[in-house]
Structure 1
Amino acid sequence: MFLTVTANPSVDRTVEVDRLTRGDLHRASGVHVQPGGKGINVARALVRNGCKARAVVPAGGAEGDQLIGLLTGYSIEVVRVAALGPVRSNITIVEPDATVTKLNEAGARLSGPELEAFCDAVLAHMPGVDWVVAAGSLPPGVPDTFYADLISRLAPSGAKVAVDTSGPALLAAVEAGPTLVKPNLEELAEAVDRPLRTLREVVDAAGELRSRGAEAVLASLGGQGAVLVDGEGSWHAEARAEARSSVGAGDALLAGFLSTGGIGPSALATGVAWGAAAVSLPGSTMPGPEDVRAHRVVVHPDIEWDRRIDV
C-alpha cells in the first residue's frame, strides 16, 4: 500500500490551443479538468497500474467538493481532511509542440489546528503502508520544515518516505533523512546552488544531497530521462516519446519507480517508461498499462559523464 500526502491539492484545468499569443483571443482545441497536486497524481498513476493507494488531502470549499468528486472515478482511497479555505485552481495552457504555460494559485492558508489535523490523519492511516509519498508545494501558513517534521513523526512506522518538493522545503526534508527525494533538474540545481550542465554535474549534485541525509536521489531530466543515485551506484535512463503534455510526467516517473520497489536500475527503467507515457497523453492524464512502452527505455550501462543536459 502507498500513502500519498498532498498538502496543497488542486483542481487542474488544462487548455490546448494552436498557439499562445499574449493579448490575443484563443479558441481551445481541447479542455481537460482533473484532480491535481503531486501526491494525487502519484496516487492516480499507481492505481491505474494496479497498485493500491491512499491519498490524504485537506479539501475545503466548493472547489474541495469538486476535487473529491473528480477523485470519485478513481480507485483511490481518499482521506479528506476538513479545511476552511478552498482548494486552489490551476490553469495549464499547452501548445501543439508541448510548450506548457502554467498559472498556479498559491492555495488556501492552513491554520495551525488544520495542519495538525492533517498530520494526525496521515499518522492514523499508516497501518499497512509500505511507502509514503509526500509531494508538492506547501500552502501559505505551512512551515518549510513540514515534510522534515513529518518524516520524523513517521519514523516509528517503519514506512519508507519519498519526498518530491522544492526550495527550502526540499532542503529541510533532505536533512531529515528520507528514503528518496525526486527533484527535477531546476530543483536540484537550486538545492546545490549552482547550474547543472552535464550528467556528471547532475550525479555530483545528487551525491551532495545524499551526503546531507537523503538515502537516494531520483532526478528527472525532462526529455533526457532521469538519473538515479543511491548507495549502490548511479544510472541514467531515457525513452523516446512523442510529446503532447509534460504536465504530471515527473509524478508518473516517481510512481513507476516506486511501483517496482523503488530500488536500482530496474525501478528506474519502469519510472522512465511511465514518465514517457505520461508525456504522450493530454493534460495531466496518468498512464495505464496500455500506454506504457517499456521497450523504448534505454538504461545506459555507462553514464556519458560529459553529455550536456538540455531540457
Structure 2
Amino acid sequence: MDITVNDTKFKFAVFLFTGIPGQEDIYLWISVPFCLMYVISIVGNSVILFIIKTDPSLHEPMYIFLSMLAVTDLGLSIATMPTILGVFWFNSREISLDACFAQLFFIHSLQCIESSVLLLMAFDRFIAICNPLRYTSILTLPRIAKTGLVFVLRGVALIFPLPFLVKRFRYCRANVLSHSYCLHQDVMKMACADITVNNIYGLSVALFTMGLDSLLIFLSYVMILKTVLSITSSTEALNTCVSHLCAVLIFYTPEIGLSVIHRFGKSSSPLPPILLGYVSLLVPPLMNPIVYSVKSKHLRVRIIRVFVK
C-alpha cells in the first residue's frame, strides 16, 4: 500500500499493534483475564459512582474526589478496551493513523487528569489532618468544582498538541507499535523525521504534570507524617491515608517505569515494557475501587447494603 505525496513514499497507511510476542497461539486464552479485568474495572467504578451519587451522607470532599477518580478510571478503561481486546480476542492488529492519534490523546489526557485527582486527594488528606478546623471552609463544593475543572483543562490543554505533533510526520519506518494501544512516545519513534521537538515537549509535559504532582503529593505526606507523629491518635489519622497511598503507588510506579524505559531503556527483550504498559493502564482502574471499598468503612457498608437488598 504505497502512497506517493510530494515525491515522498509512504510505506504504511496504518499502524500495527503488538500483543505479547511469542504467545500468539494462546491469545484467546489471554483475552479472558483481560476481559475479566475490564468487567471488574467498569462495574467497580460504576458502583462507586452510583453509591456516592445516591447517598447524601457521602457528598463530602473525600468522596467527591473519589468519584472524580472513578470517572477517570472508567474513561481509561473505555479508551484502551477496543484495541487491547481487539488484538487478543479478534486478532485485529491494524489501526488507522487518525484513530491512533485520537487514542493517544485520550489515554495521555486521562492519565494527566488522574494524576491531578490524586494530587487533589492528597490535598484533601493534608487539610483534614493538618488543619481540620478549617476543612469545611477550605474545601467547599464550589471550590472543589472550580479546582477540578482547572485540572481537567490543564490535562486537555497540555496533551492537545500531541496528536498534531505526530500527525505532521511522514511514517516510512517499520509500523509495528510496542503495545496494543497508542502512546505518543511509541508512535513518534515510527516517524522518518527529526523527533526532537516531540521528545522535548512530551518529556516537559510529563514533568509538569505527573512529575510535579508526584512531588507535591510526596511533600504533602511529609507534612502529614510530621503532624501525625505529634498527635496521640496517629494510627486512626494515618489509616485514612492508606487507600490514597495505595492508589498513588499503583498509578505512578508503572507509569514512571514505562516512561523511563521508552525514553532511555535499551532492553534486548520487548517483554518488560509491554507487561509494564498493561500494568500501568489496566491495574489502576481495577484496583482503585477495590482498595477504597476495602479501606473505607462508610463506603463498604453502603455497597454491602445495596447488594444485600
TM-score of the alignment, normalized to the shorter chain, above 0.5: no
| More relative contact order, 1 or 2 (CA 8 Å, 6+ apart) | 2
TM-score, normalised to structure 2, is 0.25
Q: Rg bigger for which structure? A: 2
Q: As a proportion of its length, which structure holds more helix? A: 2
Q: As a proportion of its length, which structure holds more strand? A: 1
